[in-house]
Every structure is written in C-alpha cells, then in structure tokens.
Amino acid sequence: MSVAKTGASQTTSNFRGSADSDTGRSSAVPWTPAGSGADSTLVGGPGLIGSLWRYRLVIVIVVAVAAVAGGAASLLIPTRYEAQANLYLRDPGTADVLTLEGASPQSGDHAVFMAQQAGLAGSADVYGRALQLLKLSGTPEDLGRMVVVKPSADLASLTISATSGDPAQAADLANAVSLAYQQVAGEQIVAQSDAAIARLRQVRKQREAEFDALRAQVTQLTGPAQSTLQDRTSHVANLIGGLQVHEDNVAAQAALYGSGVERSEQAVRPVSSSQPTPLMLALIGAVIGLVVASGWAWWAAGRHRWVKTEGDAGAILGVPLLGETPRRRRTLRESDDPSLRPDEPDPVAAEEYHFVLALLERALSKVDGKVVAVTSAEPGDGKTMAVLNLARAARGEGRKVLLVDADERTRKLSQLCRDGGHFDVLGVSHDGGECPAVTEQVALGGESSTAELNETVLQIEPSQRNGHHPAVFFRSTAFSKLISISGEPADLVLIDTPALLEVSDAVHIADHADAVLLVVDRGTSGADLRRARDRLGITDTPLIGYLFNGTSTRRRGRASQGAAERNLLRRGLRRAKVLARGLLRRQDAEMVAQQTHPG
C-alpha cells in the first residue's frame, strides 16, 4: 500500500478543493470518531407508542391470553363468602370497676383497650364457646383460620369477619363468635366483680371483728382513755360502712356493665362471593398482560430496531453521514436493463451523487488516502449501485477512477458495467496467494501503460485451485500489490466488496484500503448493523462514514423480481427487433447489389 499512497497528498488536495468548491453543504457533515460507545440500545428507537404499534399483534395476543387465564383462574379457585358482625363496646365504667384485680376491661389508652378486646374475641375461649353454640366439631384453631377479629378503623367497634364456602355458614360463624364474646366477656366481668366483692367482705369482716373488740374495751374503761377508744371505734365503724358502700357499688357497676357490649350488629347472609368475579379477574389479567407486553415491546423495539432514518444508523456506527442515495429517478436501478439506459443520467440524481462524492473526498483527505472499500452489512443493500454511480460522478468531474470488483460470488459490478458499457471490464485471475495477472488486453508490467487501467473494472476471478478459499488471496501481498500498481495513476479507487455479514472477505479486503465506506439500507436491523460495526473493528482501516440508501431494496422484494422478469422480456423483444431490422437491411443491400451487378 505504500505505492498506492504515493502522490496521495496531491490527489487529496484536489479532493479537498472539490469539496470546498461545492455548494457548501459539506461543512454540515459532523465528524465523530467511530466506536461502540456511540451506540445505545434504545437510541433511535420508535418510542413507547411506536413500539406498541410495531408489536400490536403480539400485545393483543398476550392481553387476550392473560384475560382468558384470569377468567379461567376464577373457575379453579373455590368460591368463598364473607359475613361480618360488629360489636360496639360501651364505656367500661367507673374507676371502681377499672381497678379490679388490675384486670379491668379497659386501660387508660382506648386503642390499647380495643386491642385487648379484639384479642379476647379471637381467643381460644371465645372460639371454643362459638363451636359449642354452633354444635360443630373441630378445634379453636380450625375456627381461627375462618374468622378474623380486629378493631374498626375509628376504634368504635370490633369487626368480626367470617369466611366460608357456604354463605349461611359464614353468617352463623360471625354471629356465633359475636355471641360467644359477649358471654365470655360477661362471665369475666362477673368473675372479677365477685372476686372484688369477696375481698371487700373479707376486709369488712376483719373491720367488724376489730369493731366488736373495741366496743368491749370501751365498756371497761373510763375517763380520757374511754373517750379516745370511742373515737377509734367510730372510725372503724365508718370504715365498715365505706366497705359496704364499695361492695354495693362494685355489684351495681358489674351488673350495669355486663359484657361491655352496648350494641351489636348481626351478620347477614352474603349474596355474592367475596372473591373477584370472573369478569374482574379477566380484567386484572388483561391489565397485567398489557403492562408486561408493553414493557417487552418497548425493550424489543429498542433492542431490535430497524434503520428508518439516517440518524438511526449514525447512533450505532458513530461516524458521519456522507450522503443519501437519490429517492427519485436513480441513475441506475437494479430492475432496469443497463443496455437500455441513456448515456446521460438524470440530472437530479447525478447531482446527488456529485454531492456524495464531494463529501467522500473530503473525508478521504482526513486519512490521506484514495482507496475506498465500499461494503454493507447484508447483500442487497445497494453498495454495488453506489460504487457505480459514485464512479460515474467522479468521471464526470474529470477524475481518474479505477473500480475493483472483489465480490467473486456475484460479480454484479462487472456485469452491470459490461452490459451497460459504463466501464471496460478486465478479468484478473489469481492462484491462491500468487501474484495475479490481467487476462484480457492489458498485462501488469507489460508494454501497455498502467494508465490504460483507468476507466476500468478489475474483475477478481476465483482461484483455480480446488477448494481454495478467496480469503487466502485477499489476505496476501499479491492483492495489495495489484491495488497499489493498478491504482497508482488513479485519483480514486473504489473496491466493491462482499457483504460484511455474508463472508469474511470484506474484512480482509478492507485491510488493503485506506478507508471503508458502509452503505446502509433502510430497513436494516440494528443488530445486524452492530455486528457489521464490530467486524470492521477487526481491521485497522478506518470507517470514514456511511451512505444511507433511503429506498429500501428489501421492501421492493417481489416488485423488483416482477420488474426484472418484465425487463428481461422487454430486452428480448428489443433485441429481436434489432435482429429483424438487421436482417431486413441485409436483404435490401443484397437486392441492391444484385440489381447493380446482375452478373
């Protein structure tokens, strides 16, 4: 490549002059270094709405399946009914009752009191009594799994919730626990009051015995001692009276307080199930399916996005856009017959390619080179047409251009140039890594000047060795020597390489170039573009930019195939007409000759 880069300074100076003398649009091209750091999984993605629309069919299916699954789950879950009873507790009473045995129904904090009563209602004693009332077998633990007791949110009542597969049983359980609580709570109040009265009576008996002893002593004494003893006797008598009053108060308060329930609300038989209905479960399933499917669609659209605009490719490749292929009448179209194309291209399309060429030359000036390997991620991305149109634009500006058809498997560039008469095609054969030789008209190093190779397509032909892989030749110095010698007098060398993700030859060919130009087709997947970028990272040759093919060849698919068939038929008819005209002219000439020279 040292020979190929000889004189590159002079050439690139001409390139720079062409770019600067253009319309000035070249200055708008940003220059950013290539690298994977420019890529982002969600950069250029379609957004949430676009993602949902792209995968709308998948989302609809997931939502429908989730809704059906939710509805089916309701059929598998046993039906449960919930009944609820409420107990409104009264003020526990006076301090006399509150201090009995230190086990009063209420403490100083009302929230603590309600929690204590909820604990009592959910105790084994209450559940056991409820089972007795219902005449059911089982243990309190079994009933505890069906009943929940807790204070209400406003601490005004105790809520008893019972759940069962039978609505009547659910109501009976709640009411039984409510009644059992009232009985157990009332019994506890009575027991506490009886214990308090018993202690009061015991103290009263002691005071009464003391009172009797003092009265006996009073009768035996006289004077001041008797008076003192009488005062003491009166005090004991007062204490006995107070104990009697206290005992009566305790009995009265216990009778008034009772079970502590001021009012109760009986549970009624529930009409509907307490679990979500099949419709509700189906709706819940659909919502869950929509959320999950939407999240997946957003991720998938960002990860597996397609290139729709030039910005999408730039975010992945991290290199500048050098241009976009014309969308109107193309200079050369894959479905057209090259032999039938006019000599002069469409001015609008030609101008677009001149602009792309100016930007390409300016980018080449930054790497001080002129040999460009033009490649793409997948076959059919339009790289061959881009090479041919760029070459025609360069030739139109007076540049000396050399084309190299290094795609041995298709030879599409050679076929287009041979059929259309755009450039001369010379076959170059090689045998493994040996130095190639031009097999038609011009011999390298022969009497003919290498300048004759300008305006020429070098068609690299496969090795004659059986089973020999083309990559062996493209890795060799023989290919480098071919490019160096052949491209020395040229201003621009364009190498049409195979697709990067199709074969490995493209990377080896890029090693012998000064720069790489990537053609990106609309509709290329972001994953393929990342893979192509990673493969180009193997070579030291810089990726200087990319060319965006705005009209996707993938979308033309069947239409292109049908157009090709129609063009083939039209070509045959046209050639048949030409042949018929030739035959008629020949017959006319023979008739004229016979008339002129009858003998």
Q: Give per-residue pLDDT as tens, 159-172.
A: 999 999 889 999 99
| 364-378, 487-501, 577-591: segment of lowest average pLDDT | 577-591
Are 538 and 415 in contact, with CB atoms under 8 Å apart? no
Computed over every residue of the chain, the mean pLDDT equals: 76
pLDDT tens digits, one per residue of 67-81 = 999 888 877 777 888
In the chain, the amino acid numbered 218 is V
Tokens standing for 451? 């300048």
**Whose CA is closest to 237, among 217, 212, 211?**
211
pLDDT higher than 90, residue 374:
yes
CB atoms within 10 A of CB 340: 12
pLDDT higher than 60, residue 332:
no
Packed helices 47-54 and 278-303: angle between N→C axes, nearest 10 degrees: 110
pLDDT tens digits, one per residue of 554-592 = 544 434 444 444 554 555 566 666 666 666 666 666 665
Are 489 and 353 in contact, with CB atoms under 8 Å apart? no
Rounded CA-CA distance 359/32 in Å is 14
pLDDT higher than 90, residue 552:
no
Give CA separation, 508 vs 408, 432, 513, 549, in Å.
Answer: 14, 14, 9, 24
- List helix spans (H) across 23-93: 47-54, 56-76
In the chain, the amino acid numbered 161 is S
Q: Distance from CA of residue 297 to its chain's centroid?
A: 6
Pairing of strands 81-89, 158-164: antiparallel
What pLDDT was estimated at residue 123?
93
pLDDT tens digits, one per residue of 135-154 = 988 899 999 999 999 998 88
In the chain, what is the straight-line distance between the N-terminal and C-terminal CA atoms, in Å? 69
Q: What strands lie across the sheet with 321-324, from one edge to the other?
A: 321-324, 543-549, 515-521, 371-376, 492-496, 401-405, 456-460, 424-429, 437-438
Q: Quick one: the chain helix, strand, coil %, rounded to 5?
A: 55, 15, 30
pLDDT higher than 50, residue 526:
yes
Half-sphere CA count of 146, side-chain side, radius 13 A: 28
Rounded CA-CA distance 101/105 in Å is 11
Q: 274 or 93, which is more confident?
A: 274
pLDDT tens digits, one per residue of 352-364 = 788 888 888 888 8
SS (H, E, C) 546-590: EEEECCCHHHHHHHHHHHHHHHHHHHHHHHHHHHHHHHHHHHHHH
The CA-CA-CA angle for residues 234, 239, 244, to 5°, reads: 125
pTM of this structure: 0.49
Q: 7 or 522, which is more confident?
A: 522
369 Rama sector, left if φ>0, alpha if ψ -120 to 50, beta otherwise: beta
Give CA separation, 178 vs 83, 127, 528, in Å.
Answer: 12, 10, 71
